A = this chain, B = another copy of it.
Amino acid sequence: LSVRQRCSFFFGSGHQDNSFPLRYLFGPGPSNVPPRILAAGSRPIIGHLHPEMYEIMNDIKRGIQYVFQTENNMTLAMSGSGHAAMECAVFNMVEPGESVLIAINGIWGERVAEIAERIGANVHRLVKSPGGYFTNKEIEQAVEKHKPVLFFLTHGESSAGLCHPVDGIGDICRKHNCLFLVDTVASLGAAPIFMDKQNIDILYSGSQKALNAPPGTAPISFNDRACHKMFNRKTKPVSYLFDMAHLSNYWGCDGKPAREYHHTGPVSGFFTLRESLAILAEKGLEESWKKHKEVSAYLYRGLEDLGLKLFIPERDLRLPSVTTIAIPAGYNWRELLTYIMKHHHMEMTGGLGPSIGMVMRIGLMGYNCEKTNADMALHALADALKSCKKSKP
């Protein structure tokens, strides 16, 4: 193999411009990144262990405390996407052989169950079809039956477009000495969540949804109950990279005076995450929740005017960031989405995991959450419905 042999394709950088086409990212994420966040990501980097970086990380910590509505000291961002936070939560909270209970009503619960099984947990699944939800009574009965150390629930089930109620579940978990883990990747900033008030013990999210940062970082927070279990375990977590004993030090959350080298954090990713948290804080959470509610309601009306049916019948259970539409009778959903991408440069997506073939999804999150964008999406959909022949007339 010649040293030069494989590099010819790279010579000249004409490849650049064609590879970054304009795309309206109106799927379930990532969403379009506002210029202010892009600019933060292009700042010359500093060292991952410089004092100025610690200040940026401290800003991120305070920003996450705000958007999670928590006072938890053990609050930080993972060097990875939402899946890194998911694995971090399970790896640190659960030891082999322990019982865990996972609510599955879409894709995310199944992922958590798979992760917990890999580390040897005793996994119990509480299952509904996509878009289904669990009553507090059902949850309490299952907790009583399986005596889990951890109960997992998805707040924003993006595969089905469901925003699951959370009130009261934290209390049930406390009563039964179980920790409450919630996934808010797709809902953070779009639908209200109150980590402390709702007694959520572990909460995580992602950067690329309503926060509008590029993917690659993931907020996570643990309260004192979670820390007590996590830092009194018998076995080490399987991952060194995701071990909170190290990450808590890296983020200055362990009370020790010095932060030691653990891994090299994504410096530019932290720049963008801080900027995205700052934008949300400046706007205000309540304002952001209100905006998502208004724009999604506007979108629902437009979709119904097109004769489309919303997948989640209960309006109050719909996820304001990701709207799911039942696939219109007789249409091929892949054909519709391909048409929309080709003619409108717009991403909408199909289902994910168990909801594939059941839904089409429109995400209008954070920066993208505007009535003008809803109009664009509706226009593209109307055009596709008109242009794509019904495959089964």
CB-defined interface of A25-55 with B at 8 Å, one 1/0 digit per residue? 1010110110010111111111110101001
Instruction: State the main secondary structure of chain A at its contact with B.
Output: loop
Q: Do the beta carbons of B7 and A267 come within 8 Å of each other?
A: no
CB distance from A246 to the nearest CB of B (A): 10
Judge whether A71 is part of the interface by a CB distance below 8 angstroms: yes
**At the interface with chain B, which of A9-17, A161-169, A222-230, A302-310?**
A9-17
Residue in contact with A65 in the complex, picked from B6, B27, B237, CB distance below 8 Å: B6
Q: Which of A9, A27, A45, A115 has the most CB of B within 10 A?
A: A45
Known A50-B23, A268-B268, A281-B7: A83·B263 in contact at CB below 8 Å: yes
CB distance from A346 to the nearest CB of B (A): 11
Question: For window 219-241 of chain A, which residues contact chain B by CB distance below 8 Å?
Answer: 236-241
Could you tell me the distance in whole angstroms from the C-beta of A247 to the nearest C-beta in chain B? 12
**Cβ-based interface call for A347 (8 A):** yes
**Interface residue tally of chain A, by bracket?**
35 or more
Partner of A264, one of B82, B241, B267: B82
* Interface presence of A277 (CB below 8 A): yes
Selected from B11, B41, B114, B206, the residue in CB contact (under 8 A) with A240 is B114
A148 at the interface (CB under 8 A from B): no
Instruction: Check A118–B266 contact: CB distance below 8 A.
Output: no
Q: How far is the CB of A366 from chain B (nearest CB, A)?
A: 13
Interchain CB contact under 8 A, A21 and B80? no
Residue of B32, B36, B39, B44 near A32 (CB, 8 A) is B44
Do B87 and A239 touch (CB < 8 A)?
yes
Residue of B nearest to A78 (CB): B80
Known: A44-B33, A282-B7. A267 touches B214 (CB 8 A): yes
CB of A23 within 8 A of CB of B46, answer yes
